[in-house]
Amino acid sequence: MVDVVDPETRSKMMSGIRGKNTKPEILIRRALHAGGFRFRLHRKDLPGSPDIVLPKYRAVILINGCFWHGHQCRLFKWPKTRPEFWRNKIEGNIRRDQQKLSELKRLGWRVCLLWECEIKGANEEHLDRVIESISKWLKGEESSLFIPDSRTQAISDQLTNIG
């Protein structure tokens, strides 16, 4: 299938996709801050530069985009153009995600993994439930937090595959 836009336009579109300070990240950060949690952003000294780092709780929160991290949900579809490139790219991202999660846990960090689909388009009540789950987890002792995608009832299995 041929791309519907010229290469220059596609390049401009792709360069506009941010890896940091995405809308889901900002929503979660605002809610955590309003709840009294203080954090650092994108600490480069930690594996993968986690989106949100809460040193007081020795916890990190990763907010993954469903497309870029290959989440099998309603927001993810394999591209029709250059399928081999995209398969290699996304599978490489998944492998790196597994490595950084393993390394964070090995270093003694508690890990919460949130997916874009759980936040994108969510109403305020749903976001409140997500934040409440994170808050309870931060104050508790669990090493990992699984936030199920309530729209599909699929639970992220990325953390369960960590050795």
User: What does the alpha-carbon distance between residue 127 and residue 27 come to, in Å, rounded to a whole number?
Assistant: 9
Q: What is the pTM of this model?
A: 0.81
Q: For the segment 30-41, what is each residue's pLDDT rounded down to a tens digit? A: 999 999 999 999
CATH second-level architecture of 18-161? 3-Layer(aba) Sandwich (3.40)
Q: For the segment 49-86, what is each residue's pLDDT rounded down to a tens digit? A: 999 999 999 999 999 999 999 998 888 899 898 999 99
Q: For the segment 84-139, what is each residue's pLDDT rounded down to a tens digit? A: 999 999 999 999 999 999 999 999 999 999 999 988 888 888 899 999 999 999 99
pLDDT at 71: 92
Confidence of residue 146 (pLDDT cuts 50, 70, 90): confident
User: What does the alpha-carbon distance between residue 51 and residue 97 come to, in Å, rounded to a whole number?
Assistant: 13
For residue 92, report the phi and psi dihedrals to the nearest 5 degrees: -65, -40
Gyration radius of the chain's alpha carbons: 17
Which tokens sit at 46?
A: 């930690």
Does an H or E element contain 124, and which?
helix 124-139
- pLDDT of 155 > 60? The answer is no
